[in-house]
Chain A
């Protein structure tokens, strides 16, 4: 079916200028960090031989899974045929490309030898999930490009459903691949096969929350009126996905707690006096799960655009913290090489390794966010990605027979 939505090319305005300055500044910080680290070496970061993946990886994985999740809005309209989301399809696909590019950029620029990217792109070990991910990520870009083409070209609108279904399957595989990076670590107690479904659920939650933030900005900055219908839909999506992430989190910890040899790690993470326990209960559960749910179920706040924005920001914060806990705590917790013995050495065996991110890691991560934002701004100024109006009247008129 043809898309009857009216789209526009966004013109230069104060909002665009502000957004652009922020994006370019972040890219500047990222570049500065990259050049410094490339010149001096990684000792300037908080990462070390114990915690080998740090804040840049949290940023990168956050952006990559958010990219997969943000495409969900396009999938809902083209795969599940819920037409009210149709005007958001193009933006959804664009944002997926933006976030993925930003995430990959951080991942690549944090490599010890980023100059060898061409080696990574040409020499593969197919037993490595990393090698598969290179294909999954680059393939994702290609699939979205075709998806966008089908959406933009009125004659090909009829194929959107099929290409959308393919993109849907691809992004589920992509997030599985990203989650499996951790699932395939044989010796670490912190990770298991549940990493993959957890990452998929988290990707849907992050994607929805980030998309809502953009919609809110479009409403205030670009004058694209956001109707109560869309707001209410995003509220519901946020609720579903918060519960899904929470469910898998509980399931993962309960499963792990059942196994005696994992007790030490679980107690370290959940009931000790360390930063991860604090981040888990206060950050992930308190600010990232309970508080957003309170807002989303509050009579007044649940109906206001600002209330949903607040919930979205909290959810994004919670998701970021969750990834930080997953990635860092699993490395900080010592490996048990000799069960039954207390271990010690000059290489930090048997102790919880300290990790404090350095400013260079923060800057590198923010650089990735800046790249995502800059591509978005540039794209909406050259092509008609942005629907002119998202109020209830337009949405219902443009796409009749709205499925509830």
Chain B
């Protein structure tokens, strides 16, 4: 029987084991940092404020890739009843009253810093996360629709129908109110992009830019500094996280 001899002195052992250690831990540390990700048990941080910049110059009337992507991502079905069907994101056509010039804009929850929906919700089901995302707690929403009454952007929908085959990452339920959640599941996975922004980029329009408003080095912060942008209904003082360019 052949005997194996371990030719490893103390110096070699320390050197090799430390290399192994570094090569195991480093990617995790490095990529996590790169991805702004965080562990699932770690709470969202107020150091980050997620937001969007929508460049209406790049958005075209005939394209609804963002809407389709959102519906697919969250399993939003069309029941053929347009007045009650859910819409998290919609395309609005705006025509200038004077010049008659038309522009197309995606409209969704604006993720206000001071959201009226959170103020009026009797049970606190409507809430704002530390990273600025406005969400509905599906366990405590009683379906009173007061948030829908109060939203200045008509961004919320009430689930009027029985739902089947829901997606595990996007739980929804009849009788609750819901709205754009900035693809919170993707953020929590470290993907840090939304389905609508991805679809828009894929279609080559680049009209939707998602990012951290608090990070001065992020693309969105740089563009916000460079171009004139607008907050919808800025007169209400809600400080929205979704801004528009070209309006």
Contacts and interface: CB of A to CB of B under 8 A. Distances in A.
Given A41-B159, A43-B79, A337-B233, A49 B146 contact: no
Nearest to A342: B95
Contact of A42 (B151, B154, B160, B232): B160
Given A123-B140, A341-B96, A343-B93, A113 B122 contact: no
Contacts of B236: 186-187
B63 interface: no
A376 B110 CA distance: 48
Contacts of A341: 94-97
Contacts of A338: 92, 94, 232, 247
Interface string A152-192: 00000000000000000000000000000100111110000
Interface in A326-368: 331, 335, 337-338, 340-349, 353-354
Nearest to B103: A341
Nearest to B139: A119
Given A43-B84, A53-B149, A112-B143, A124 B124 contact: yes
B148 interface: yes
A107 to B, nearest CB: 8
A40 B144 CA distance: 17
Interface stretch (B45-53, B171-179, B202-210): B171-179
A397 to B, nearest CB: 50
A22 interface: no
B153 interface: yes
A123 B123 contact: yes
A116 B142 contact: yes
Given A131-B122, A188-B149, A331-B149, A344 B93 contact: yes
In this complex, which of B86, B95, B142, B153 has the most chain A Cβ atoms within 10 angstroms of its Cβ?
A: B142
B228 to A, nearest CB: 16
Contacts of A345: 90-93, 107
Contact of A111 (B82, B144, B159, B161): B144
B129 interface: no
Nearest to A107: B144
Contacts of A347: 87, 90, 92, 107, 154
- Identify the interface centre among B79, B118, B120, B121: most chain A CB within 10 Å of its CB: B120
A134 interface: yes
A55 to B, nearest CB: 14
A129 interface: yes
Contacts of A134: 122
B145 interface: yes
A6 to B, nearest CB: 45
A128 interface: yes
Nearest to B67: A346
Interface in A111-158: 111-114, 116-117, 119-120, 123-125, 127-131, 134
B121 A41 contact: no
B57 to A, nearest CB: 16
A48 B83 contact: yes
B211 interface: no
Contacts of A49: 83-87, 148, 154, 156-158, 160
Nearest to A355: B83
Nearest to B177: A112
Contacts of B152: 186-187, 335, 337
Interface string B94-108: 111110000000010
A111 B175 contact: yes
A219 B79 CA distance: 54
A112 B145 contact: yes
For the complex of A and B, the 4 pairs showing the least CB-CB separation, nearest first, are A112-B143, A112-B175, A187-B152, A130-B122
Interface of B: 79, 81-87, 90-98, 107, 116, 118-124, 140-146, 148-154, 156-162, 174-177, 232-233, 236, 247
13 contacts: A40-B162, A41-B162, A52-B148, A112-B176, A125-B121, A125-B124, A130-B121, A130-B144, A187-B116, A337-B153, A341-B97, A345-B107, A347-B87
Given A114-B142, A348-B83, 7 more contacts: A43-B161, A112-B142, A125-B124, A127-B118, A331-B149, A342-B97, A349-B154
